[in-house]
Structure 1
Amino acid sequence: MIHLYKNNGYNLCLDVNSGSVHVVDELVYDVLQELADGKNGDAAAAALSGKYEAEDIREALEECGELREQGMLFTEDIYRDSIDRFKDRPTVVKALCLHIAHDCNLACRYCFAEEGEYHGRRALMSYEVGKQALDFLIENSGNRRNLEVDFFGGEPTMNWQVVKDLVRYGREQEKQYGKNFRFTLTTNGVLLNDEIMEFCNREMGNVVLSIDGRPEVHNRMRPFRNGKGSYDLIVPKYQKFAESRHQDKYYVRGTFTHYNLDFAKDVLHLADLGFKQISIEPVVAPPTEDYAIREEDLPVICEQYDILAKEMVKREKEGRGFNFFHFMIDLTGGPCVYKRLSGCGSGGEYLAVTPWGDLYPCHQFVGNEKFLLGNVKDGVIRKDLVEEFKEVNVYSKPECSQCFARFYCSGGCAANSYNFTGSVNDVYQIGCVMQRKRVECALMIKAALAKEQPEFTAESCETCAECE
């Protein structure tokens, strides 16, 4: 299976199963199109005989044949038959999303957590519950050494002392059990101060700083409860924080909605503020919400990704580049095969913990009692749900199994699938369109910035130390 497309003046061919990317001229592009349509060499040559010279067509066909023999074109899918082996692997928990605070000091309009309440009540996680959560993670992590804990909310800095106490406890357990905790923090920035930043710079492997872009965009969707915008308060703090982390191991992370479909301007606004690590995500909301993204918005959104990709190439060549999360693709290694097939691991490897210790498949399922897995004291009770989530992979969904982006998307978000289709093992179609466009733009950027590398080959491992 190959995917042919044109973007920003480049003719690109992705060989889906090998991950090889080829930048080709018009002749080879047309030859590949004929071959992809099922024609053999002679039939392809005949179809193109009125457009190109016979000798040129013959040479192009020979080049394509050589690439096929080298395993870089029209390669077979070697992973489909081995998916059962991945599904049958013992479940080990490697990451927890700790809802350290079901409370928030902002009133973001699109918040799926209902200002931190998650369809329930406001609460702060106690130190004791947090300890039990870390103990649960260690106990259920098997031989895996590297473990991740994200302090999430609501707004986690509203329970800051418990965050610090849990980090200290985790560091103590590392020595005893031979584990390594990677702590992260997601914050709206309202309570950020020098003490919090200094602590994060010592202890947090990554920080996510929420901001939606231009002042008018951010303030419309992320106000205080009194309606006042939060942009002016948080931007100077974020700029200081990013610099203190040497413009690395952080993201300014925003959400675009129906009201700012020109979101490329928001990404570039953040870049102009000096941020080098940027993520702007599409809002996921039911179509009844006025800010929801609709199918008719997709052409504009795809155009915005093109605009952004071209500008990123330009800025990179000018020496003022930045990273955009959805355009970051590693063509030399990338995620291991297991991640490419099954995604984030929600419901098994990755779990969310409420302030009172309940376990859910991920933060987006919290509050939906149908997906209550158990608690940190007694462990996972709903083994059937764990097995249901383990069945989710790129081959269990017909749309994914035929999609060129499947090894970059890994099947999409289970929560989005459930919220829009009623099943965790389906797809959110609007999200699929955006994901495919992002992959195309990301590959174009790689092509545009390549110096002497006409072909890129992605090598995937069967397993890796990170997965063990």
Structure 2
Amino acid sequence: MIHQYKSNGYAIVLDVNSGSVHVVDDIVYDCIALLDQGCSKGEVTEKLSASYSKEDLKTALEEIQELTDQGMLFTEDIYENAIEHFKERPTVVKALCLHIAHDCNLACKYCFAEEGEYHGRRALMSYEVGKKALDFLIANSGSRRNLEVDFFGGEPLMNWQVVKDLVAYGREQEKIYNKNFRFTLTTNGVLVNDEVMEFCNKEMGNVVMSIDGRKEVHDHMRPFRKGAGSYDLVVPKFQKWAESRNQDKYYARGTFTHYNLDFSKDVLNLADLGFKQISVEPVVAPSDADYALQPEDLPKLFEEYDNLAKEMIKRNKEGNGFNFFHFMLDLTGGPCVYKRLSGCGSGTEYLAVTPWGDLYPCHQFVGNEDFLLGNVDEGITKPAICKDFKNCNVYAKEACKKCFARFYCSGGCAANSYNFKGKIDDVYEVGCELERKRVECAIMIKAAMAEEEV
């Protein structure tokens, strides 16, 4: 499969199956397009003879043939035939999302967790339940040494002592079982203080700081329960925290909605505040929600991604660059084949744990009893659900089979598929369109950076 596009003056060709990216001139670009349609070399020469000389066409076709012989163009899909073997692979649990608090001190309008309640009752995870969760992870991790635990909510700092106690317990257990815990924390910043920063800088491999960008955007969607905005309180804390982490191993993470389709301004606002690790992501919401993204919003969003990519190139050349999560693409190796085919591992390698110890495929399924897998006392009692998630891959979804971005998004989010299509092995089209655009922008940025290094 070949994907071609032009962006910011670059003519780009992606060989999907090999992952090879080529920045080419117009004659090679046009030749590849006709060859991909099934034209012979003679037909290509005939069709393009009015635009290019026969000698130039001969040279271009020879270059294309050389790349094809090297396995960098028009390559076969080597993964589809192996998919049955892939589905039978042994899996182990390697990551838990601990819902340390089903409660929150903000009332974010787009929150899928319903202000921390997750379709149920407010609760804080006890130390005892948290210990059982870590024990479950160790017991079900097989020979895998590196394990991940994310303290999530609601707002996890509302249960801060238990967070600290569980980190200490994990550090004890990793010595006993030869494991290595990587802890992370996601917070809205309201309760962040110097003690929280110091502890997390020592113990947390990553922290996610929730902030939506411009003050008016953030305060509109992330107010306190009585309506006051939270921007002025959290921004100085997050700025100090990012600096204390040497501008690394964190994300200033926002959400854009129908109310701020010009979201590139929010990304750049965060960059102007000094943040170097930024992720501003599209809201996923029922189509009848007033803040939901609509299909008719896509042209504007595409324009915003293009504008952001160009500005990032400019700032990088000026020595004031920053990272944007959705443009961070590894073209030299990328994830292992399993991840390329199946994505985040929800329901198999990655599970969510409620404050009372129930297990779900991921945080977005929490509260949906159809996806209750078991609990930390008994383990997984409904393995059939795990098997359904294990069978989710880019070849199980018709839309993915013909999508050039399938090995970058790995089939997309199962929860989004379920929420919009009623099943986990389909796709959320708006999300797919945005992912394809982000991949194109990310590759273009790589092309521009490579050109700068020459």
Using structure 1 for the length normalisation, give the TM-score: 0.96
Tell me the equivalent position of 1:338: 338
Report the AA paired with residue 123 of structure 2: A
Q: Which residue of structure 2 aligns with residue 100 of structure 1?
A: 100
Task: Name the structure 2 match of 1:32.
Answer: 32
Corresponding residue for residue 274 of structure 2: 274
Partner of residue 362, structure 1: 362
Structure 2 CA distance for aligned equivalents of residues 200 and 83 of structure 1: 40
**Sequence identity (%):** 75
1:369-410 superposed Cα distances (whole Å, 9 cap, x missing partner): 010000011000111100000010001111101110011010
TM-aligned CA deviation for residue 452 of structure 1: 7.6
Separation (CA, whole Å) in 2 of partners of 1:453 and 1:275: 25
TM-superposed CA distance for 1:83, in Å, is: 1.6
How far apart, in 2, do the equivalents of 1:85 and 1:278 lie?
37
Aligned AA for 1:56?
Answer: D
For residues 337 and 452 of structure 1, what CA distance do their matches in structure 2 show? 31
1:174 aligns to 2:174 (yes or no): yes
Q: Which residue of 1 aligns with 2:69?
A: 69
1:48-197 residue pairs with structure 2 within 5 A? 48-197=48-197
Equivalence for 1:252: 252
Gaps of at least 5 residues in structure 2 are: none
In structure 2, the partner of 1:462 is none
Structure 2 distance, partners of 1:334, 1:237, is 34
Distance 1:86 1:189 in 2: 41
| Cα separation, 2, equivalents of 1:411 and 1:287 | 21
Structure 1 Cα separation of the partners of residues 452 and 291 of structure 2? 44
Aligned AA (2:222):
R
C-alpha separation in 2, matches of 1:265 and 1:107: 24
2:217 is aligned to: 217
Tell me which residue corresponds to 1:460.
none
In the TM superposition, what is the alpha-carbon distance from 1:333 to its structure 2 partner? Answer: 1.4
Matched residue, 1:377: 377
- Aligned partners of 1:361 and 1:449: how far apart in 2? 38
Q: For 1:391 and 1:42, how far apart are their aligned partners in 2?
A: 44
CA RMSD of aligned residues (A): 0.8
* Secondary structure of 2:47's aligned partner: helix
SS at match of 1:267: helix
Per-residue CA deviation, residues 22-72 of structure 1 (Å, 9 max, x unaligned), is 001111110011111111111111110111100000100000000000000
Cα displacement (A) at 1:334:
1.2
Equivalent in the alignment of 1:464: none
Amino acid corresponding to residue 442 of structure 2 in structure 1: A
Q: Which residue of 2 aligns with 1:408?
A: 408
Q: Which amino acid aligns with 1:43?
A: E
What are the Cα deviations for residues 285-326 of structure 1, in whole angstroms up to 9, with x where unaligned?
011100000000000001100000000000000100000000
Deviations 1:323-358 (A, max 9, x none): 000000011111111100000000010000000000
C-alpha distance in 1 between matches for 2:276 and 2:99:
28
Question: Aligned residue for 2:292?
Answer: 292
User: SS in structure 2 opposite 1:293?
Assistant: coil
* Aligned AA (1:364): Q
Partner-residue secondary structure (3-state), 2:57: helix
Amino acid at match of 2:155: E
2:433 aligned with 1:443, yes or no? no
**Take 2:85 and 2:175, find their aligned partners in 1: how far apart are those partners?**
33
Please list the CA deviations of residues 223-272 of structure 1 after superposition, one character each: whole Å capped at 9, or x if unmatched. Answer: 00010000000000000000000000000000000000000000000000
Distance apart, 1:89 and its partner CA: 1.3
Q: CA deviation at 1:90?
A: 1.5
Count of residue correspondences: 454
Give the partner amino acid of 1:89.
R
Matches of 1:23 and 1:139 in 2, distance apart?
48
How far has the Cα of 1:91 moved from its partner? 2.2
Residue equivalent to 1:461: none
User: Structure 1 residue 451: deviation in Å?
Assistant: 3.5
Distance in 1 between the 2:64 and 2:185 partners?
Answer: 48
SS at 1:450's partner residue? Answer: helix
Q: 1: CA distance between counterparts of 2:83 and 2:391?
A: 10
Q: 1:457 aligns to what?
A: none
Letter in 2 for 1:430: V
Aligned counterparts of 1:90 and 1:21: Cα–Cα separation in 2: 33
Opposite residue 390 of structure 1, the aligned amino acid is: K
Q: Are 2:283 and 1:283 aligned? A: yes
Secondary structure in 2 matching 1:6: strand
State how far apart, in whole Å, the 2-side matches of 1:264 and 1:25 are.
Answer: 30
Q: What is the distance in 2 between the residues matched to 1:67 and 1:357? A: 54
CA–CA distance in 1 between the matches of 2:388 and 2:400?
18
Q: Distance in 1 between matches of 2:311 and 2:159?
A: 40
Q: Any residues of structure 2 matched to 1:394-405 within 5 Å, and which? A: 394-405=394-405
Secondary structure of 1:300's match? Answer: helix
Aligned letter for 2:86? F
Alpha-carbon distance in structure 2 between the residues aligned to 1:324 and 1:411 = 21
Query: Is there any run of 5+ residues in structure 1 with no aligned partner, and where?
Result: 455-468
1:205 match: 205
DSSP-derived class of the 2:234 partner: helix
TM-score by length of 2: 0.99
Write out the 4+ residue segments of structure 1 that deviate beyond 3 Å after TM superposition.
451-454
* Further displaced range: 257-266 or 395-404: 395-404
Partner of 1:5: 5
Structure 2 letter corresponding to 1:91:
T
Residue 348 (structure 1) aligned with residue 348 (structure 2) = yes
Partner of 1:241: 241
